[in-house]
Structure 1
Amino acid sequence: MQQTKISLSISMLLITASLTTSSAHAIAGLSANATVSNNYLWRGVTQTNNAAAISGGIDYQHSSGFAVGTWASNADWAQNMSYELDVYASYSNSLDNGLGYNLGYIYYAYDSDAESDFSELNLSLSYDAYSISYHTLVSSDADGSFGDDSYLSADAAFDIAPELTLAFHLGYYDFDAGGDYRDYGVSLSKGGFSFGLFDTDLDGADGELNVVISYSTNIDL
């Protein structure tokens, strides 16, 4: 959650003091994140009309595996829309054989005039570098019913050098009303920096290759 020896020394002292203060007031499990990006893609489709995005959130992770959080970004994929605000809760754990699992609920909220809110339940399994996730609709302002729409994805992430990760993604969005599509992508990240190529099999602008460059930072609160 982006000279002289004297000025450098002063800078290091200020940083050290800041870190010390943060640690003294830290709340275990509480963190914040912030990201800037040239585009906000969600399941392969731009949510900002191919414009830049600024996003951030706050999360609380309990040692038991329960977590809650909220996240917000500018968004512009429907009329009268300017932002997205997500609220979510989850439980995660792992088995003795190394298989990890996560159960979660997420509510996607937008400007009230946009009438685009919806919510999902999700389940994900992970093992080593691989993971699969399944999301299904709970309800929506568009009169969607439980289970009408679902999204299945598979991901893999490999450390190819110290702190350098190569990740692959493949997803399939199934709509009860039609318009199903696949999305796929590959990204390279180090530290908070990420460079990715993403595409879908949709026609038109949503089927064009997207290059996404972003930088994220995480902060313990």
Structure 2
Amino acid sequence: MRTSIFGLALFATTAIATPLHAEELGGGFNLSGNAALVTDYRFRGVSFSDEDIAIQGGIDIEHISGFYVGTWASSIEDSPVFGHTELDIYAGWSGEVASGLSLDVGILAYLYPNGNVGDADYVEPYASLTYAIGPAEVTTGVAWAPSQNAIGNDDNLYVYSDIGIGIPGTPVSVGGHLGYTDGSLSVDPDGDYWDWGLSAEAVFGMLSVGVAYVSTAVDGPGTDGAVVGTLGVSF
């Protein structure tokens, strides 16, 4: 399931895990969906909604073999280049490769169907490893966007590490994130920057409530530290 606050991760990684409310389609396929209202759409620490509220949602189809496809969308700050909507389409495979160790690998296309100036769409392969240690999960991942017109005919590398810990006996989980961007998608003139965050989430059946502190090493509007709230539903 695609999420937003930490780019590839908010309170979970991009690994597709069948939600509790997934609908069985037969033939080993499951359908699930999600929707959220966030106080700020932060992608790799940077606000894509001009530090304003964003509406988000997605649909995933997963096979018991581990293969999955999905789509996710969010409202963004309206601009001539990007329009007012981001639409992501992704596909990949996720599964356990050793005891307690899971691999997720795939490709994601970032599409901006309302943009009127140039071509802002680009693709980005990704991979991550997640290791479970008791109530904690540690994820290390990488996303690499090869040279494309939309990102200035240069490539971009994003590496990150996340930790999530479920508090036993409660619906609450806490998490931490550290990410590093190097390349054409950097918001720093030097061509690279760090982002980080801390989060907490409580899940009540289909509903979830979360809060996160997100920041980057870049000073300026949309990159400074911010507290972001999330109200979500999964089905």
Match of 1:117 in 2: 121
1:183 aligns with 2:195: yes
The higher radius of gyration belongs to 1
Secondary structure at the residue paired with 2:142? strand
Q: CA deviation at 1:207?
A: 3.5
Structure 1 residue 164 and structure 2 residue 172: aligned? yes
TM-score, length basis structure 2:
0.77
1:197 is aligned, of 213, 217, 220, to: 213
Partner of 1:48: 49
Q: C-alpha deviations, 1:84-139, integer Å up to 9, x for none?
A: 00000010111233211011100000024143111100010010110011000033
Which residue number in structure 2 is paired with residue 6 of structure 1?
none
- Distance in 2 (CA, whole Å) between partners of 1:205 and 1:67 is 36
Contact 2:171 2:202 in 1 (8 A): yes
Q: Secondary structure at the match of 1:217?
A: strand
- Give the whole-Å Cα distance in 1 for the aligned partners of 2:55 and 2:123: 22
* 1:1-221 alignment runs, 5 A limit: 26-27=24-25, 28-76=29-77, 78-80=79-81, 81-110=83-112, 111-114=114-117, 115-128=119-132, 129-138=137-146, 139-145=148-154, 148-161=155-168, 162-176=170-184, 178-191=190-203, 192-219=208-235
1:159 CA drift (Å): 1.2
Identity of aligned residues (%): 31
State the one-letter code of the partner of 2:138.
Answer: Y
Distance 1:207 1:96 in 2: 38
Select the structure that is richer in helix: 1
- Partners of 2:39 and 2:99 lie apart in 1 by 40
1:207–1:74 distance in 2 versus 1, CA, 3 Å:
closer
TM-score (normalised: structure 1): 0.82
SS in 2 for 1:151: strand
Structure 1 CA distance for aligned equivalents of residues 129 and 50 of structure 2: 32
- Equivalent pairs counted in the alignment come to 196
Structure 1 residues 184 and 103: alpha-carbon distance in aligned structure 2, compared to 1, 3 A threshold: same
